[in-house]
Amino acid sequence: MMNTDDFAGFVSDFEKKLGIGSSYDVEKREIKVFPRQINIYYLSGLADGMQAIKIIESILAIPREREYSFELVLDNLSHHSVAVIESEEELYLDFLNGMLVMVFEGEDRALSVDVRSYPNRSIDEPDMEKVIRGAHDGFTENFHTNIALLRRRVKDMRLRNELFTVGAANPAAVCLSYIVGLCPEAILNKIRGELEKIKVDHLIMADKALEELIVRQRFNPYPLVRYTERADTVAVHLYQGMFALFVDTSPSVILAPATFADHLQHTEEYRQTPLSGTYLRAVRYFGILISLFLTPVWLALLDVGALKGIAALFVPAAGAVNIYLQVAIAEVGVEFLRMASIHTPTALSTAMGLIAGILLGDIAVAVGLFSIQTVLVVALSAVGTYATPSYELGLANKISKIFFIAATFLFGYWGLIASAIIWFVYLSRLRSVGKPYLYPLVPFNFRRLLKILIRYPYKNQKQEVTNAKIKMRG
């Protein structure tokens, strides 16, 4: 409880902590329309000034002949969102989140009014998840805007959005979203427990920092959660039994439990006919396989005596640099180009990537540093990596490919076979919030596997939806 018996002392300590006098964006207004004083505080950069003026006008409009009471002020505030605060911690938290807070002389309660108006960019399509057909809106850094975009798509009474606060010195809002009856309660209880156990000063790195705090996967390169910036993707996955975690200031949303197969799906597949969607999915899967195994398999072919005739077609010309060194240099070069395109202004990145790739590759072949086959194989592998819908999965596959190449270099084609088996066993032992990572392959579920390989058409599920609504009413 707030101790306001000594109102002047409380206000002095409160204003010192807020930084009044040293922080220019902290606004203060003192009102004394009753025998008791009311102090109003808000942050000018996070609050709507016009709404703050209306709140002050509401207090000034209270008839002077009325007898003062806390409830009288509360009842006369012309605003849709007003909350009573009964602790100092809650008072500071609401103020720092952009609320207008009101402290009353002689009262151990305060009021918090939601007048927030966060700086915000427009709702645009995410660069990493573009589609030809369908919605072109994506999440922003505004926490409440993102929840509203989800609500716009999920008009279901079973949708729940639970709010948590993470961070002691710099609190951040985290929202756990799920659909009652679809996401297992055991998983939800586990996530709630993990969120409540977090003890950190801040969550400035937003969703990625939160993931590391609740998943704790250490040095595993493979993503155990999926990220998305599309509201329709979140909505679909909620109906598949997943939960979503929204973090304030981040446009990315965490989805879990997420399997290896979940990272391979893309919205575009569901925006085309089932046959076209299946074709797109097959091409994407083939590209991912190429990104993983094309380069190590090609290197292994050079070591297989029975396949020397085929391998001879790909052997570098005499005098060329060692083939493994060629591949290593080429792979690092591709990463250099990728990083350079990220840090290059948008207007120049595409031209820079094309020119650098063509010129460097052509010059490397001309001077004998690379063989033409090496450039082709590495380029196809890179294209397959970029065809991966999940950026995190693409990076993890890149690391696995380096592992395959190293094993092939050390032990030949037997090294490739052994490393592939180790890779598969390793993935089969991973779990995403309790769900096997390679499901439905391990454990094997043929019907579910077919749904991953084939894009089936939508079916009429009216009866199932009706039964779910009846259950909710009951």
- Chain segment 127-147, per-residue pLDDT in tens: 788 888 888 889 998 888 999
How many Å apart are CA 398 and CA 383, to the nearest integer? 12
Do 77 and 10 meet the contact criterion of CB atoms below 8 Å apart? no
Pick from 288, 290, 265: nearest CA to 278: 265
Burial of 220 (0-12, 13-18, 19+ CB in 10 A): middle
Nearest to 132, CA basis, from 276, 249, 30: 276
Report the mean per-residue pLDDT for the chain.
84
Which of 25-34, 40-49, 108-117, 465-474 has the lowest average pLDDT? 465-474
Q: For residue range 147-173, list pLDDT tens digits in order.
A: 999 999 999 999 999 999 888 888 888
- Look at residue 222 in the predicted model and tell me its pLDDT: 94
* 8 A C-beta contact, residue 390 and residue 263: yes
Cα 404 to Cα 106, 261, 382, 411, 413, distances in angstroms: 72, 21, 15, 10, 10
SS3 content of the chain, % helix, strand, coil (to 5): 50, 10, 35
User: Could you give the CA distance from residue 340 to residue 333 in angstroms, rounded to a whole number?
Assistant: 10
Determine the Cα angle at 236 with ends 273 and 233, to 5°: 85
pLDDT above 90: residue 117:
no
Write down the domain spans for the chain. Answer: 7-113, 127-258, 272-453
Q: How far is CA 129 from the centre of its chain?
A: 12
Q: Hey, what are 114's tokens?
A: 């939601």
* pLDDT of 11 above 60: yes
Higher pLDDT, 320 or 453: 453
The predicted structure's pLDDT at residue 388? 87
Considering Cα of 464, then 468, then 473, then 474, what sign does the dihedral take?
positive
First to last CA, the chain: 40
> Which residue is associated with the tokens 């693409």?
394
Q: Is the pLDDT of residue 366 over 80?
A: no
In the three-class reduction of DSSP (H, G, I as helix; E, B as strand; rest coil), residue 433 is classed as coil
Mean predicted confidence (pLDDT) in 438-467: 79
Of 228, 224, 251, give the one whose Cα is nearest residue 427. 224
Q: At residue 23, does pLDDT exceed 60?
A: yes
Residue 138 CA to residue 365 CA, distance in Å, equals: 43
Q: Is pLDDT above 50 for 465?
A: no
pTM score, two decimals? 0.82
Residue with tokens 């091409």: 283
**Minimum mean pLDDT among 270-274, 318-322, 369-373: which range?**
318-322
pLDDT greater than 60 at residue 312: no
Q: What is the pLDDT of residue 460?
A: 67
Give the pLDDT score at 260: 94
Q: What is the pLDDT of residue 130?
A: 84
Question: What are the tens digits of pLDDT across the range 215-272?
Answer: 877 789 999 999 999 999 999 999 999 999 999 989 999 999 999 999 998 888 888 8
Question: What is the share, in percent, of the chain residues with pLDDT greater than 90?
Answer: 39
Q: Is residue 473 predicted with pLDDT exceeding 60?
A: no
Query: What would the pLDDT profile of 52-65 be if each residue is shown by its tens digit?
Result: 888 888 888 888 77
> Phi then psi for 43, rounded to 5 degrees?
-95, 120
Average pLDDT of the segment spanning 347-358 = 60
